Amino acid sequence: MATESVVHTAMTLHDHLPVLQILVPFIAAPLTVFIGSRALAWPISFASSVVSLVIAWLLLMQVIDGDVISYHIGGWAPPLGIEYRVDAANAFVVFLVAAISVVVLPFAKVSVAYEVPLRDHALFYSAYLLCFSGLMGVAITGDAFNVFVFLEISSLSTYVLIAAGAGKDKRALTAAYDYLIMGTIGATFFVIGIGFLYMGTGTLNMADLAQRIAAQGGNRTIEAGFAFILVGIGLKLAFYPLHLWLPNAYTYAPSAVSAFLAATATKVAVYVLLRFCFTVFGPAFGFEVLTLQYVVLPLAVVAMFASSFVAVFQSDFKRMLAYSSIAQIGYMLLGIAFLTETGVTAAIVHLFNHGITKAALFMAVGAYVLRAGDTFYNDIAGLGRKMPWTSAAVVIGGLSLIGVPGTAGFISKWVLVQAAFEKGWWPVALLIVASSLLAVIYVWRVVEVLYLQPAREDSTATEAPLTMLVPIWVAALACIWFGIDTDTTLGAARTAAAGLLNLPGQ
Amino acid sequence: METNTAILASMIIPALACVGNMVLRRNDNLRDGMTLVAAIATFACVLTVLANEGNGTTAPMVLWTVMPGLDLAFNAEPLGLMFAIIASGLWIVTHLYGIGYMRGNHEKKHARFFACFSFAIASAMGIAFAANMFTLFLFYEALTISTYPLVAHKETPEAVKGARTYLAILIGTSIGLQLVAVIWTFALTGTLDFTKGGILAGHVEGPMVAILLALYAFGIGKAALMPFHRWLPAAMVAPTPVSALLHAVAVVKAGVFTMLKVGVYIFGIDFLAETGASEWLMWLAAFSIVCASVVALTKDNLKARLAYSTVSQLSYITLGMALATSMGALGGGMHIAMHAMGKITLFMCAGSIYVATHKTEISQMTGLGRAMPVTFIAFLIGALSIIGLPPLGGSWSKWLLILGAADTGHWVMIGVLMISSLLNIAYLLPVVAKGFFLKGEGQPQEWAEAQALVWAPPALTAFGCVVLFFFAGDIAAFLAPIAETN
């Protein structure tokens, strides 16, 4: 099924949705620079995010029942032309990215104004839009090389966004530099892997790659390609022990950037891993199964424990969340390593649930930065009473992070443990819950600091402005909503998992 | 009122009372009055369910499907209904007592206190009426989290530390063990509905049954089975009304209630008896009973002594379930009611002594009995009920448990129950004896009963202990359906 016959006559705007998804923010990005107005940068960004979200929703509704949309860029038919291929898996990810952007941007307006020098605002929003479109592009494209291109677009703009934190703390520069080096190594590995695949098969279109690899079976070139891609994308998704760039990057980036990246960037990378592991290579390959079970699974478990353990001993809320992110990525990788429908469902649903949870928490961090200057535990001590709404949202987000029933995090944990039992790996099930007990400790440290410690005497903190509170609470309520109503998330994740594993759709 | 409406109302009313407490935080009288009305209304709703359904089991009312096979569903059945009656009925008494205690003792942050208290009751109602293990687990966690601020209420380093232990053990066991057990059950059977005769028979066999039971038994940390009992003494830093209603009734009874539910409706008594999977649990419960009583003997702090006594008494109920016989389950079920009434009396007396004299250690309480006769007589009655002497309620449940042990030929367990009674006498009666017969230091006449709102509620519940003795037959008949074996 390399190509589908597409009638090129009388295409409506509706048919162009897949490309518009990327083009809208992509064109808006230089626009903010050309206009150069600080006042207009934010409205342009927000408007293009809203448009993207609407498009993402329309696309998701088209594919949620298991259909696939194939869009040919410029009318060039694949495998020669670039194909955008929308199915339940990537429509879901694109929707997550767009939704997070729409929620985070209103929050960013105040937060960025406080944390980023005024003269850089137009450039900041331009970089933000590039990153945004890059992340969606990675998800939506059906062409392996195009994945690399979009990955670079998003990565390069991410370096800039992280460095923008230098206005507040100069260490943002070294954090960005670290990430630049590691990210570039990752990208290089990734493109070398794709080179191997091209060498072995002569094609770059993913669907085509999948067919040819299945037809010719594995060989050293393909295996080497898989290894390079795994390591390359592993760096991007902060796969333990390739995670070293992440804590500093999230800690020193402006809060709005941390919120956006934590909720989207690593999630998109997880999606790429899913796409390559299941669509391109197909789990039928022995080398892949072996890699996942003997390399990815143990490392995922180590990530869950080691990073949670480090998170327990942090004294900075923001940094603690960064380490918690690495641990949570471990859960997603674990779900993938199960290689079963339930496991992959767990990975995808956790990708979403963790995205909204971390968005809520990192935005709360931004509110504390704005009001208390920093997020070290002695800075935010006793703020539970001075900033009751922000702190209540932190409690909700924290409960979701732990996986308390009634929150989104519980749903992912449930499905993940269920997958472990289905597979008969009950020790893994015990490890999953044991590591969430570490989450109890690091979350509750913050709760105690917020509510049970006396505030600093010189603290003048007051409740965050409404423009911050509303996005924080939208995300916090989403944590509860998606813990109760799982039709959309779990439904989409199941369809996506079935699609990725080539099972009959439900 | 329809049964289902009444069930929902019994959860929504306390939840609304929680909101009301936060809204009316500046107006003490209005707020406390509103909560009292809510408590009475909740009790009325529960009684409506009783009047409508008797000891029948209603069809689950599914409110919401969270995942396929996982419903948020409620129903009425004898065990849950009894738990609901106890928790909501005693809420009225404890609320009155709480008003007297919090004001008499000049505690701070009344609004937060009563808001969390109401929410805890809403959670307890959810546990009582849960129609499946998933719903029960949801409210079980809600109960833990809503009682955390109550334990930490004083915000002293000691309270923070106690609350940390409380949360760590309760959340640790529930997420670390119970959740695993629940998901495992779901993976095995595809359902979590509480079903007469259990759902696990035929799905699991061999040593796995015992392992699954262990995950449940230790995972239900609120049942305070040793070695996961440390949270209960730690929770004693809370103001006494919390210790009285929550840590003698709602929270701990939620634990043993869950334990009974799991034994009766998830495993099934017959299945447990056939596989012998609960044999080890019986021995562990016996160990908990004796060991906690011995520890109680060594405690001079009255609330700590009562806490260990609770640990010991809770294991009676676990023992009843682990005997895997209908008489045992019945005795365990009845002990929920009997112990609740006795222990809440003791705790309220401890609080009454504290409000009047600020004494916490038993050795300081010499001679107080003559100054505070109502409190000490109530304490005596409660203590006798815990010990299990007629004509007090506690005698019947102990009697049934002994019958259950005899039924299964576990003679050692009868010995354990006897020794436990002797130990109960040894650690409870000296408090009363010291109060009445020893002369206090200083002038006893400077002490007197605190205000009526503090001493009347324990007197009322002490009277309840006597009443329960005469209605034990009705309770047994009411609970009979849970003990039916096939």
Give the residue extent of every domain in chain B. 289-486
The residue ranges of every structural domain in chain A are 297-498
> Quick one: angle between helices A317-338 and A297-312, nearest 10?
160
What does the block give as tokens for B94? 């404890």
pLDDT tens, position by position, for chain A (506 residues)?
A: 444 444 445 567 778 888 989 999 999 999 988 887 888 889 999 999 999 999 999 999 888 887 888 888 888 888 788 899 998 888 989 999 999 999 999 999 888 888 888 888 889 999 999 999 999 999 999 999 999 999 999 999 999 999 998 888 889 999 999 999 999 999 999 999 999 999 988 889 998 888 888 888 778 888 888 889 999 999 998 888 888 899 999 999 999 999 999 999 999 999 999 898 888 887 667 677 777 888 888 999 999 999 999 999 999 999 999 999 999 999 999 998 888 889 999 999 999 999 999 999 999 999 998 888 888 888 888 888 888 899 999 999 999 999 888 899 999 999 999 999 888 888 899 899 889 899 999 999 999 899 888 887 777 888 888 889 999 999 999 999 998 888 888 888 888 888 888 765 43
DSSP string covering A68-92, please? Answer: -EEEEGGGPPTTTS-EEEE-HHHHH
Band of the pLDDT at B444, cuts 50, 70, 90?
low
In 10 A of CB A356, how many CB atoms? 27
**Does B145 sit within 8 Å of A402, measured CB to CB?**
no
**The three-state (H, E, C) secondary structure of A255-272, written as one string:** HHHHHHHHHHHHHHHHHH
Nearest-by-CA chain B residue for A416: B183
Nearest-by-CA chain B residue for A434: B176
Higher pLDDT, B360 or A48: A48
Chain A residues with CB-CB distance to B167 below 8 A:
440, 444
How far out from the chain centre does Cα A289 lie?
A: 24
What does the block give as tokens for B209? 């049954």
Please check whether residue B79 is in contact with residue B257, taking contact to mean a CB–CB distance below 8 angstroms.
yes
Q: Which of A343, A245, A244 is nearest to A292 (CA)?
A: A343
Nearest Cβ partner of B175 from A403, A452, A486?
Answer: A403
Rounded to a whole number of angstroms, the distance from the CA of B410 to the nearest CA of chain A is: 34
Chain B residues with CB-CB distance to A486 below 8 A:
66-67
DSSP string covering A103-118, please? Answer: HHHHHHHHHHHHHS-G
Nearest Cβ partner of B167 from A421, A426, A444?
Answer: A444
Distance CA A433, CA B478 (A): 39
- Tallying the residues shown for chain A, one arrives at 506
Q: Which residues have CB under 8 Å from A200's CB, separation 6+?
A: A213, A216, A219, A221, A222, A225
pTM for the complete prediction?
0.89
Residue pairs spanning A and B at CB distance below 8 A: 72
Q: Which of B19, B396, B72, B312 is nearest to A406 (CA)?
A: B72
Please check whether residue B382 is in contact with residue B463, taking contact to mean a CB–CB distance below 8 angstroms.
no
Distance CA B252, CA B238 (A): 15
**Predicted local confidence at residue A93, as pLDDT:** 92
Going by the DSSP 8-state scheme, the letter that residue B71 receives in this structure is E
Q: Which of B25, B171, B13, B7 is nearest to B77 (CA)?
A: B7
Higher pLDDT, A287 or B282: B282
Q: Does residue A411 belong to the interface with chain B, where contact is any CB pair within 8 Å?
A: yes
Q: Which of B15, B37, B33 is nearest to B24 (CA)?
A: B33
Rounded mean pLDDT, B376-382? 89
Q: Does residue B186 belong to the interface with chain A, where contact is any CB pair within 8 Å?
A: yes
Rounded to a whole number of angstroms, the distance from the CA of A96 to the nearest CA of chain B is: 21
**Does B187 sit within 8 Å of A418, measured CB to CB?**
yes
Rounded to a whole number of angstroms, the distance from the CA of A421 to the nearest CA of chain B is: 7
Q: Which of B307, B345, B325 is nearest to B403 (CA)?
A: B325
pLDDT surpasses 90 at B367: no
Give me the amino acid identity at A265. Answer: A
Residues within 8 A of B (CB atoms), A 126-155 only: none
Would you call A5 exposed, middle or buried from its count of C-beta atoms within 10 A (0-12, 13-18, 19+)?
A: exposed
Distance between the two ends of chain A, CA-based, in angstroms?
A: 21
pLDDT surpasses 70 at B342: yes
SS3 B65: strand
Q: How far is CA B185 from CA A417, B134, B194, B199, in A?
A: 12, 11, 12, 9
Band of the pLDDT at B357, cuts 50, 70, 90?
confident
Sign of CA dihedral B374, B375, B376, B378: positive
Please check whether residue B17 is in contact with residue B34, taking contact to mean a CB–CB distance below 8 angstroms.
yes
Q: Does residue A234 belong to the interface with chain B, where contact is any CB pair within 8 Å?
A: no
Rounded to a whole number of angstroms, the distance from the CA of B352 to the nearest CA of chain A is: 28
Strands A83-86 and B61-67, sheet pairing? unpaired
> ipTM for the complex?
0.85
Would you call A49 exposed, middle or buried from its count of C-beta atoms within 10 A (0-12, 13-18, 19+)?
A: buried
**Predicted local confidence at residue A305, as pLDDT:** 93
Distance CA B435, CA B429 (A): 10
**Predicted local confidence at residue B196, as pLDDT:** 84
**Predicted local confidence at residue A121, as pLDDT:** 87
What does the block give as tokens for B400? 């049934």
Please check whether residue B191 is in contact with residue B133, taking contact to mean a CB–CB distance below 8 angstroms.
no
Rounded to a whole number of angstroms, the distance from the CA of A342 to the nearest CA of chain B is: 12
